[in-house]
Structure 1
Amino acid sequence: MATNAELPLAQARPVAVIVQQGRLLDFIDGLTQRNETPEEYVRQEIAKSLVREYQYAKAEIAVECTLAVGSRKPRADLVVFEPGQPHKQERARIIVECKSQKIRSNDRKDGVGQLQSYMAACPNVLYGMWTNGLERFCYKRVDTDGQIEFAEIPDLPTKGRSEDEAERPRFDQLKAASSDALLFAFRRCHNYIAGNQGLQKPEAFWELLKLIFCKIHDERNSDEVQFFATSVERHSLNGQIKAKQRISGLFDEVKAEYNTIFRDNEAIDLNGEVLTYIVSQLQMYSLLESDIDVKGRAYEEIVGSNLRGDRGEFFTPRNICKMAVQMLDPGEKQLIIDPACGTGGFLITAMNHVIEKIRAAETEKWGGNLSRAEEAIRSRVAKYAQGCIVGTDLNPNLVKAAKMNMVMNNDGAGGLYQANALQSPARWEDALRNRQIIGQIDLLFTNPPFGSKIPIDDPAILEAYDLGHAWSYDAGADTWSMQTGIQKSQPPEILFIERCIKLLKPGTGRCAMVLPDGILGSPGLGYVREWILKHTRVLASIDLHADTFQPHVSVQTSVLVLQRKTPEEIAVEAAAGRFNDYQVFMAVANHIGHDKRGNVTYVRDRQGNEIVEEIEEHAIEYQDGQKVLKRQRTQKKVIDDNTLQIAQAFRSWLSEQD
């Protein structure tokens, strides 16, 4: 199976659609404005899946379709009809009921029984789905001697394909996840493991991680799909044993390939019922070909709810990662590092930025021959990801999660190491130490752990840093000088500044660091700023909105972009007794796309109505077993986020400076 990177979008074009506050635009007809409720959110995401993943045409789908059920006339959330047929009850083929997360599947009024009553009332309905975003149940209607029964199945069939193909799909039938469908699936699986295996949620996360690895390994290495569980296997003891043996075989191969992540004696610690359910919920997707942002959003939510620690660890929002990466615009031959990589957000964003360049070059080179282009893309991407991506983190669980994230997003996991980046390189593991990265890094992106609650007080570490020493201030000369003694302790972010600069190539190495504003303005930290000015040229300072890291933590931060000076440049300025003057790019990221509760914010007109734009997307689909690129137009609300505008403005400014 081919790896997939996010495809370029055409230039967005605004259309004359204004969405009133508290409303959203219906995905199916593109005109109706519906109340923005939790239930409506689920319905709209499932509607997108029916079109984008299951390949049903919008014209074949009705929203809030009135049905005659006895003397009642309820409205079904989504009904799929036969192609080219009128939207009448006797022509319905699939019914989908969507609920808010508060409604459970066993609810007497709104649970799966409601869906089944709708299916029973429609003579030609074959399939149904009930979901609240966390739980999902799919059924096939079975008529036997006048008796109607409902057999649970793993998934709805894709348009034009049989139920058997959904039971055990072929690789060319796997669907790239769109919108929040994968997020729903990961939530559903995580909660199901926790609720039915008796595990705490962090333990459930690691079991889910094992199965995601198996899924990706199957997509990459198997000739036929092995990651599947049929309905028969789910509901019989013998079938569960058979499925577990098959998936355990995949996990043995995973352990052999990723022996730095999994131990030899590790096993999938799930009973047959739970295992087959999880496999059935993931088997229809192609994780490798799913959109980068879709996978990132789904994975980050599951990781974030399980691995947040007490060491100042909070994960950088994707838009800030994208802003920093686009500002420094990495290339294929540049060595990139994040010395406090967490789950790998910066590294994955940088890696996929380069992969897009590779993809564009090879696609242009090979024209319409997608197979030849993807073969060349795979070769270049593998070489780049293994040779040019380096990440370290002190938390071994975060490193493990980052490796998983890398594997799911075009790999590069071989360059991730568990290490204390602030320690002497002599104490790093051999594989990392042998790379000799000090002074060799082209580009560095990082959001180091912050805070006085996690001080660095090891004298062996402090004495190795200029910023670990005590400093004195000369008010008359307005200068700071380093003393021989060391500090009792230092917040880690201060030492990370020095380590990051020393990692860069002198003269050309550049970095983008997220730092607390105290470093940039606190009077007592003037020596830190003077050290920065002595050893680097400040390219940019971006003031981030106070809500950037909400709803997880409230901290005022900036992104500082620096370029390391050469020893000669430092010596010249020292001899002159002053720093050279130069221009610095400054901006305020006062629109970051969400509020302090984490809710997405959108651009509004003067009346407070939300603005919608029409964009053209490219999607990979299959025709006669061959990959083809298809264009589709869709309407989306404009997210109130100016971070990418800042990146574009910086690139323009930097080209003038260079």
Structure 2
Amino acid sequence: METKRADIVIRDKDHPDSAYIIIELKKPRLKDGKDQLKSYCHATGAPISVWTNGGAISYYHRKDPNYFVELTDIPAQAETLADVLREDFRMADLVKKFNEQTERKSLRQRIEEMEDEVLANAGVDVFEEVFKLIFTKLYDELESTRNETRQLQFRNTGQTEAELNQKIQTLFDKAKDKWEGVFSDSDKINLSRSHLSVCVSSLQDYKLFNSNLEVIDEAFEYLVSKSSKGEKGQYFTPRYVIDMCVKMLDPKEEEFLIDTAAGSSGFTVHGIFHVWRKILEDEGLTASHLFTAEKKPPRCEDYVRDKVFAIDFDEKSVRVARTLNLIAGDGQTNVLHLNTLDAERWDETTDNEYWNDTYNEGFRKLKKLRADKSGYKAFEFDVLMANPPFAGDIKESRIIHKYELARKTSGKYETAVGRDILFIERNLDFLKDGGRMAIVLPQGRFNNSSDKRIREFIAERCRILAVVGLHGNTFKPHTGTKTSVLFVQKWNDVKGSEHYCPRTDDYNIFFATQRKSGKDNSGEKIYATRNGFLLRDEHGHEIVEHDLFNHENLTEDGIAEAFREFAKKEKLSFATDFFA
């Protein structure tokens, strides 16, 4: 096969094996050879090409594998391509460019394309490398939002691949300093220079801040589920299910909130947003987007720093959750990497030096909420929301023997117990008297005759507030397991107490079933339409078709609104804001 050779190649000064400028020379009056020149650039990765026939001369910049733009000149010896391009690109420009896109791909779709094009055979951990890039870009957007004159740095603006690599590495290091405890000090971006260049070009025009949090969460769910999440039957909860739970339990600014099986921390982040709306309204401020880079009022940051906690045993999920909570709390978070079901070993875990460096501040605050300072069994949380793993059993006798629900009717212990069963008991231990909980459980726990003892255990300790049956497609494509959300409030017979919930044998329970699925049988979201057009919220996000709650007064009242009316009639102690 014939090997074609370029006429002149100028090498990258930092990496002499890499082409920097390729020059194609033609005889006078000839005009061909430009496509051939571009193919040379594509094959070598050279960012600059020059075509000339001795009279006419053209300069090109290869921005993407098959996308070239004309230049007015090439860099002088002491210049870079970025000096020639002189791109002036601030946050306002990114917002404008993002909003002008007519066919907008989701962040997940962009990641899938990157995986297909460069990451699949890059010999790297895809989750780690994409996570680093998103983490870095979030930091870049935050800095340029808070300083409107600052140029965005997460852009391929004509540097050599070596220069771009150095710029992004430096930006990543600054992000690590800003949001500690997600990556170690020694972590670096491990993509090759050419792969990094393609990935940056793919992500640079996608706006992460001021977007629907679901955009980022969907991307992380895809990445985490590919590596570990689905193995234990733990799947991220759809955001519309989370919002229903938050609206029904109505967490307040003065209350302590926790998720004991946090995943990406959707319950706590949306709980934060719910409380923030109240704070901003109280201070006469507009809520606008809640996942934003703008500085929040001190009350908002204080709430995240002092009142909100999350725990998960999956290290990757914890790091995702910490990132989202760190941003929400402007550098503060109480997301902890612990095994909720094995509190006996927490002291062992916390003795680890690296763990201590990362999580000690949040763990110190968690310990203050213990009901019994001698151990980690009981806590004093006001609100708990969780979707624990509902596949796989716990078989360690050491753990099983700590739980009453692990006993048979004979008094002997089971040899294996479902994780979700142990989470029911453990979660109730986290709540103070009068505290309330929403927990996603397999439908069978509510009607299997073999699970009667579980239902009796719950009823003995709590008032059952509500049971909401979710559609069978809710957790597709991961699983078709039918689930329901159980809402309870722990009995509290102390009259005059803030969370008064007097024990009674005769009370009403709210039951509801989701009719509009939100997803089709393949697990793809179904979006609401009106008059043949997609229904969007005030920020341009498509609205999922469901009947769980009224979305910003754009859809009909749903299950959450019906429960609020029920709560008012029942005069539930936490329903005071429902009368507003």
Q: TM-score, normalised to structure 2's length?
A: 0.70
Q: Distance in 2 between matches of 1:382 and 1:499?
A: 29
Does residue 463 (structure 1) correspond to residue 401 (structure 2)? The answer is yes
Q: Taking structure 1 as reference, are residues 590 and 567 closer, same or farther at Cα in structure 2, changes over 3 Å only?
A: same
Q: What are the Cα deviations for residues 353-372 of structure 1, in whole angstroms up to 9, with x where unaligned?
A: 2223333344x25899x9xx
Residue equivalent to 2:93 = 173
Residue equivalent to 1:655 = 568
Residue equivalent to 1:504 = 431
Check the 8 A contact 2:437/2:487 in 1, yes or no: yes
- Say which of 374, 390, 401 aligns to 1:450: 390
Q: What are the Cα deviations for residues 390-411 of structure 1, in whole angstroms up to 9, with x where unaligned?
A: 1111111221222234346666
Q: Taking structure 1 as reference, are residues 191 and 174 closer, same or farther at Cα in structure 2, changes over 3 Å only?
A: same
- Say which of 542, 546, 553 aligns to 1:641: 546
Check the 8 A contact 1:603/1:611 in 2, yes or no: no
- Say which of 296, 306, 317 aligns to 1:398: 317
- Say which of 441, 446, 461 aligns to 1:520: 446
Q: Which moved more, 1:258-267 or 1:221-230?
A: 221-230
Q: Distance in 1 between matches of 2:461 and 2:68?
A: 60
Cα drift, residue 444 of structure 1: 0.9
Residue equivalent to 1:545 = 471
Check the 8 A contact 1:190/1:205 in 2, yes or no: no
Q: Which moved more, 1:580-589 or 1:592-601?
A: 592-601
> Any gaps of 5 or more consecutive residues in structure 1?
1-119, 121-138, 158-162, 234-238, 473-482, 570-575, 605-609, 620-633
Cα drift, residue 249 of structure 1: 1.7
1:542 aligned counterpart, secondary structure: strand
Q: Which moved more, 1:418-427 or 1:204-213?
A: 418-427
Cα drift, residue 555 of structure 1: 0.7
Q: Distance in 1 between matches of 2:455 and 2:570?
A: 23
Q: Distance in 1 between matches of 2:402 and 2:59?
A: 73
Residue equivalent to 2:189 = 268
Does residue 241 (structure 1) correspond to residue 166 (structure 2)? The answer is no
Q: Taking structure 1 as reference, are residues 367 and 646 closer, same or farther at Cα in structure 2, changes over 3 Å only?
A: closer
Check the 8 A contact 2:230/2:478 in 1, yes or no: no
Q: What are the Cα deviations for residues 611-653 of structure 1, in whole angstroms up to 9, with x where unaligned?
A: 546868545xxxxxxxxxxxxxx897x7541112111111121
Q: Taking structure 1 as reference, are residues 408 and 276 closer, same or farther at Cα in structure 2, changes over 3 Å only?
A: farther
Q: Distance in 1 between matches of 2:536 and 2:470?
A: 30
Q: What are the Cα deviations for residues 472-523 of structure 1, in whole angstroms up to 9, with x where unaligned?
A: 5xxxxxxxxxx3x32222111111001111111202x111100112211111
Check the 8 A contact 1:338/1:390 in 2, yes or no: yes
Check the 8 A contact 1:613/1:635 in 2, yes or no: no
Does residue 219 (structure 1) correspond to residue 141 (structure 2)? The answer is yes
Check the 8 A contact 1:240/1:273 in 2, yes or no: yes
AA matched with 1:445: M
AA matched with 1:463: H
1:310 aligned counterpart, secondary structure: helix
Check the 8 A contact 1:592/1:643 in 2, yes or no: no
Does residue 204 (structure 1) correspond to residue 126 (structure 2)? The answer is yes
Report matched runs for 1:204-603 at 5 Å: 204-221=126-143, 224-225=150-151, 227-233=153-159, 239-362=160-283, 364-365=284-285, 377-407=296-326, 414-424=333-343, 427-428=346-347, 429-430=349-350, 431=360, 433-434=363-364, 435-436=366-367, 437=369, 438-451=378-391, 454-472=392-410, 483=411, 485-507=412-434, 509-566=435-492, 580-601=505-526
AA matched with 1:643: L
Q: Distance in 1 between matches of 2:131 and 2:293?
A: 28
Q: What are the Cα deviations for residues 6-49 of structure 1, in whole angstroms up to 9, with x where unaligned?
A: xxxxxxxxxxxxxxxxxxxxxxxxxxxxxxxxxxxxxxxxxxxx
Residue equivalent to 2:12 = none
Q: Which moved more, 1:170-179 or 1:388-397?
A: 170-179
Report matched runs for 1:183-198 at 5 Å: 183-195=108-120, 197-198=122-123
Check the 8 A contact 1:189/1:208 in 2, yes or no: no
Residue equivalent to 1:85 = none
1:506 aligned counterpart, secondary structure: strand
Q: For CA contacts below 8 A with separation 6 or more, give which structure has more relative contact order.
A: 1
AA matched with 2:409: W
Cα drift, residue 327 of structure 1: 1.2
Q: What are the Cα deviations for residues 38-93 of structure 1, in whole angstroms up to 9, with x where unaligned?
A: xxxxxxxxxxxxxxxxxxxxxxxxxxxxxxxxxxxxxxxxxxxxxxxxxxxxxxxx
Cα drift, residue 542 of structure 1: 0.7
Q: What are the Cα deviations for residues 167-193 of structure 1, in whole angstroms up to 9, with x where unaligned?
A: 451233232856644344333334444
Q: What are the Cα deviations for residues 544-567 of structure 1, in whole angstroms up to 9, with x where unaligned?
A: 122221121121111000001137
AA matched with 1:655: K
Cα drift, residue 339 of structure 1: 0.6
Q: Taking structure 1 as reference, are residues 525 and 375 closer, same or farther at Cα in structure 2, changes over 3 Å only?
A: closer
AA matched with 2:90: R
Q: Taking structure 1 as reference, are residues 293 and 249 closer, same or farther at Cα in structure 2, changes over 3 Å only?
A: same
2:437 aligned counterpart, secondary structure: strand
Q: Taking structure 1 as reference, are residues 580 and 165 closer, same or farther at Cα in structure 2, changes over 3 Å only?
A: farther
Q: Distance in 2 between matches of 1:194 and 1:375?
A: 33
Q: TM-score, normalised to structure 1's length?
A: 0.62
Q: Taking structure 1 as reference, are residues 457 and 470 closer, same or farther at Cα in structure 2, changes over 3 Å only?
A: same
AA matched with 2:232: R
Q: Taking structure 1 as reference, are residues 221 and 443 closer, same or farther at Cα in structure 2, changes over 3 Å only?
A: same
Indicate the structure with greater strand content.
Answer: 1
AA matched with 2:174: E
Q: What are the Cα deviations for residues 182-209 of structure 1, in whole angstroms up to 9, with x where unaligned?
A: 344333334444146233xxx1221111
Cα drift, residue 656 of structure 1: 1.8
Cα drift, residue 149 of structure 1: 8.4
Q: Taking structure 1 as reference, are residues 143 and 209 closer, same or farther at Cα in structure 2, changes over 3 Å only?
A: farther
Q: Taking structure 1 as reference, are residues 143 and 543 closer, same or farther at Cα in structure 2, changes over 3 Å only?
A: farther
Q: Taking structure 1 as reference, are residues 353 and 189 closer, same or farther at Cα in structure 2, changes over 3 Å only?
A: farther
Check the 8 A contact 1:288/1:409 in 2, yes or no: no
Check the 8 A contact 2:110/2:203 in 1, yes or no: yes
